[in-house]
Structure 1
Amino acid sequence: MQEAITKADTLIEAMGWIRKFRGKTTVIKLGGSIVDNEEALMHILLDVIFMESVGMKPVLVHGGGKAINRALAEANIEPKFIQGRRWTNPATLEVVERVLAGELNVFLTEEIERLGGRAMNLSFNTTNVLFGEKLTLPDGEDLGAVGHVTRVDRSVIEGLSYTDQVPVIPSMCEGENGEHFNVNADTAAMAVAQSLGAEKLVFLSDVNGVRRDKDDPDTIIHSLNADEARALISDGTIATGMIPKVEACLETLGRGVKKVHIVDGALRHSLLLEIFTTSGVGTEIRQ
């Protein structure tokens, strides 16, 4: 009986958050490391189905770096990165498109359906919603078919959300002449969240959030405002690879998204724990 009462108490705690976020859009960025983790992915997709079931409007944007690397290896193509971005020549683009816009996009949609939800894959093969142009680096170095999103077809995404389906979007965009570009998944998710005026953008990461000591998970900072985050960058608390992620969060906040979260995607039910509990499990960054 006590166990049942504890479960009921948990639901009551969640009720306030459910009412607060009912009808609101949350964009969730799935990275390649999470997509490649079968158990973690199942729990994330179950969380997404729960969110939709209680009236939230989740939107998934996914990358797939590990799966792309495996496919490149099978095709005897050596992966190459320039300033953290995948150099994408025509042969690499063919593999990226097959894996991201084809296999993974369909797989994630079918997994949501298998687990009891409803979803629609949005890609070049069905309905494309991300449009953009070739990305040019400041130093002029050529990345090949790498682009950035300049326009999002929000009407298609919102239409699916209003019919209780979860839109599933690969991190690729189409140019004005129909050419296809590989896009960094973080920036693709940011573009979608900004276009939709999302309540939340959640980056599912391989760390549990911003830490006072980057090597100690117990030093996580659960909540930061924009000024506090900038101060932590200035004093070196936020360092190395976390700097561009937090700077991306701050940029997104400045463009209409209310809150950005960095959450450990490998933690079981991390999405629900972050959104529907008072303390959360990751880092929330707000204006």
Structure 2
Amino acid sequence: MEQAIVKADALIEAMAYIRGFRGKIVVVKLGGSVLDDAGLQRQILTDVAFMETVGIRPIIVHGGGKAITKAMNEAGLEPVWVQGRRYTDQRTLTIAEHTLIHKVNTPICKTLEELGCNCMPLHSLTSCVLFAEPLRLAGENGRKIDLGLVGKVTEVNSKVLTTLCDDGIIPVIASIAQDRVGGKLNVNADSAAGMVAVAVKAEKLVVVSDTHGVRRDKDDPDSWISSLNFSQIRQMIQDGQIAGGMLPKIEACLMALEGGVRKAHIIDGRIPHSLLLEIYTEKGIGTEILKDPSPANQSQQIGPSVA
């Protein structure tokens, strides 16, 4: 009986969030272990299915870095990294495209269908909704560093995405974009998710990763921070507290907020039902990122203070 009452209390706590987010679009970026572990992947997709069932309109964006590296190694290719980004020649792009579509996107869609959801795979072999230009990094003396067939997302076909969401279909987007002449470019999935969130005017961007969120000390799990705003994030970047693999996730979150998304979150996909805990409970389990406090922002809040 006591366990049943606890479950009922949890549902009551979630009710305000369920009501407040009904009809809203939430972009979920999948990365890290959830793409490599079938059990974790099914767990997080079960959360997505629940969200869709209670009225949220989810959009999934995914990468596949580890799977691509594994496929390259199996093909006898050694990945080349430039300032933390994978140099992509034509052979690498071919492997990346095949891996993202057949090893990542297809299993995600299959699992969602098994969970009773309607979904649509969106990638370079179906309907590409990401459009990009070649990415060049800044080098010494103003020199631009060539990354090969790596792109920066500049445009998103929001009409296709919102139409699918309106029809009760979950878009599942692989991080391969199209350039202006119809070529293909490998793009960062975090950045792509941020651009998608802005384009569809999402309520939230949730980045699912292998970390509980932002830490004051990256090596100390107990230094996890539950909520940060723009100014605090910028200071932590300046102080070197946010760096490495966390930086592109943070930059995607900031880009989304600057583009009108109300909140962004970074959560650990290895925690059971982390997506539901972050969205439908007051405390959450990751780090939420908000714009700097203002009366206007506070008046637009849905649900309790850490929705």
TM-score (normalised: structure 2)? 0.89
Q: What displacement does 1:239 show?
A: 4.7
With over 3 angstroms needed to count, the CA separation of the structure-2 counterparts of 1:256 and 1:179, relative to structure 1, is: same
Q: What displacement does 1:285 show?
A: 0.5
Q: Secondary structure at the match of 2:59?
A: strand
Percent of aligned pairs sharing the same letter: 52
Give the match for residue 121 of structure 2.
121
Matches within 5 A, 1:199-214: 199-214=203-218
Task: Count the aligned residue pairs.
Answer: 287
User: What is the alpha-carbon distance in structure 1 between the residues aligned to residue 149 and residue 17 of structure 2?
Assistant: 42
With over 3 angstroms needed to count, the CA separation of the structure-2 counterparts of 1:275 and 1:124, relative to structure 1, is: same
Out of 125, 147, 153, the residue aligned to residue 151 of structure 2 is 147
Q: Secondary structure at the match of 2:137?
A: coil
Give the match for residue 236 of structure 2.
232
User: What is the alpha-carbon distance in structure 1 between the residues aligned to residue 162 and residue 151 of structure 2?
Assistant: 24
Measured against aligned partners, the alpha-carbon deviations of 1:53-98 in whole angstroms (never above 9, x if no partner) come to 0000110000011111121122111111111111111111110111
8 A contact 1:33–1:64 mirrored in 2? no
8 A contact 1:33–1:65 mirrored in 2? no
Q: Secondary structure at the match of 2:138?
A: coil
Residue identity opposite 1:49 in structure 2: A
Q: Secondary structure at the match of 2:26?
A: strand
User: What is the alpha-carbon distance in structure 2 between the residues aligned to residue 150 and residue 239 of structure 1?
Assistant: 24
Q: What displacement does 1:34 show?
A: 2.1
User: What is the alpha-carbon distance in structure 2 between the residues aligned to residue 253 and residue 149 of structure 1?
Assistant: 17
Give the match for residue 18 of structure 1.
18
Give the match for residue 274 of structure 1.
278
With over 3 angstroms needed to count, the CA separation of the structure-2 counterparts of 1:126 and 1:247, relative to structure 1, is: closer
With over 3 angstroms needed to count, the CA separation of the structure-2 counterparts of 1:215 and 1:58, relative to structure 1, is: same
Measured against aligned partners, the alpha-carbon deviations of 1:156-197 in whole angstroms (never above 9, x if no partner) come to 111111111110000110011110000011111111011111
User: What is the alpha-carbon distance in structure 1 between the residues aligned to residue 158 and residue 247 of structure 2?
Assistant: 29
Q: Does structure 1 residue 156 correspond to structure 2 residue 151?
A: no
User: What is the alpha-carbon distance in structure 2 between the residues aligned to residue 28 and residue 224 of structure 1?
Assistant: 19
8 A contact 1:264–1:282 mirrored in 2? yes
8 A contact 2:191–2:251 mirrored in 1? no
Which deviates more, 248-257 or 173-182?
A: 248-257
Q: Secondary structure at the match of 1:142?
A: strand
Which deviates more, 117-126 or 6-15?
A: 117-126
User: What is the alpha-carbon distance in structure 1 between the residues aligned to residue 145 and residue 241 of structure 2?
Assistant: 31
Matches within 5 A, 1:87-126: 87-126=87-126
Residue identity opposite 2:221 in structure 1: P
Give the match for residue 302 of structure 2.
none
8 A contact 1:263–1:283 mirrored in 2? yes
Which deviates more, 233-242 or 27-36?
A: 233-242
Q: What displacement does 1:214 show?
A: 2.1
8 A contact 2:120–2:169 mirrored in 1? yes
Residue identity opposite 1:232 in structure 2: M
8 A contact 1:25–1:59 mirrored in 2? yes
With over 3 angstroms needed to count, the CA separation of the structure-2 counterparts of 1:122 and 1:285, relative to structure 1, is: same
Q: What displacement does 1:216 show?
A: 2.2
Q: Where in structure 1 are there 5+ consecutive unaligned residues?
A: none
Which deviates more, 267-276 or 68-77?
A: 68-77
User: What is the alpha-carbon distance in structure 2 between the residues aligned to residue 130 and residue 235 of structure 1?
Assistant: 34
Q: What displacement does 1:243 show?
A: 4.0
Measured against aligned partners, the alpha-carbon deviations of 1:220-258 in whole angstroms (never above 9, x if no partner) come to 111112122223334444455434432432232111111
With over 3 angstroms needed to count, the CA separation of the structure-2 counterparts of 1:243 and 1:149, relative to structure 1, is: closer
Q: What displacement does 1:210 show?
A: 1.2
User: What is the alpha-carbon distance in structure 1 between the residues aligned to residue 124 and residue 98 of structure 2?
Assistant: 10
User: What is the alpha-carbon distance in structure 1 between the residues aligned to residue 251 and residue 48 of structure 2?
Assistant: 26
8 A contact 1:32–1:62 mirrored in 2? no
User: What is the alpha-carbon distance in structure 1 between the residues aligned to residue 241 and residue 89 of structure 2?
Assistant: 38
With over 3 angstroms needed to count, the CA separation of the structure-2 counterparts of 1:95 and 1:45, relative to structure 1, is: same
RMSD (Å), alpha carbons: 1.5
Q: Secondary structure at the match of 2:190?
A: helix
Out of 166, 170, 174, the residue aligned to residue 170 of structure 1 is 174
Matches within 5 A, 1:240-251: 240-251=244-255
8 A contact 1:194–1:255 mirrored in 2? yes
8 A contact 1:122–1:168 mirrored in 2? yes
TM-score (normalised: structure 1)? 0.95
Residue identity opposite 1:86 in structure 2: R
Q: What displacement does 1:213 show?
A: 2.7
Which deviates more, 235-244 or 78-87?
A: 235-244
Q: Secondary structure at the match of 1:144?
A: strand
Q: Secondary structure at the match of 1:136?
A: strand
8 A contact 1:26–1:198 mirrored in 2? yes
Q: What displacement does 1:32 show?
A: 4.3
